[in-house]
Amino acid sequence: MTKAEIRQLALDILSGIAPETDPSAIAGHEDIREALDIDSMDFLNFVIALHQRTEIEIPEADYPKLFTLDGVVAYLSQ
């Protein structure tokens, strides 16, 4: 997956979780939990979907690395 594909994947998942928002308007360094007002259940669903679509292991301890779009792209393109 390219960085652009990972970013698009993250945006697709987020627009399913927060359907009335426009995740593509979030800046790369912004905390997506605050920008989209998503709670811990939503965030867990985000992680589950990322894991299922990329098959990359995401331990709970690494959750903070996924709080921004830039972080998600960096983490999943490693």
Partner 1 sequence: MSDFLMPSLGADMERGKLVEWLVKPGSEVKKGDVIAIVETHKGAFEVDIFEEGVISELCAGEGQEVPVGGVLARLMPSNSVPAIVPPPGPMAPTAVVKAPEVALAAPPSPGAPSASAKSPTVAQKVSSISPASRARAKVTPAAGRRAAELEIDPYTLKGTGIYGSVTIADVERASASQVSREASARPTRPGRGFDPLQMRQAIAAAMSRSKREIPHYYLTTTIDMGPSLSWLETFNTERPPDQRLLPATLFLKATALALREVPQFNGFWENGRFRPGSGIHIGWAVSLRGGGLIAPAVHDVDTMTLSELMSALRDLVARARGGGLRSSEMTNPSFTVTSLGERGADSVIGVIYPPQVATLGFGRIAVRPWVIDDKVTARPIVVSSLAADHRASDGHAGGLFLAAVDRLLQEPVKL
Contact flags string 11-50 toward partner 1, x per CB under 8 A:
-xx-xxxxxx------------xx--x-xxx--xx-xxx-
**Least CB distance from residue 6 to partner 1, whole Å?**
17
Q: Does 56 bind partner 1 (CB under 8 A)?
A: no
CA separation for the pair 56, 75 (Å, rounded)? 10
CA separation for the pair 28, 48 (Å, rounded)? 21
Whether 26 and 34 have beta carbons less than 8 Å apart is answered as no
**One-letter amino acid of 67:** F
Q: Interface with partner 1 by CB under 8 A: which residues?
A: 12-13, 15-20, 33-34, 37, 39-41, 44-45, 47-49, 51-52, 58-60
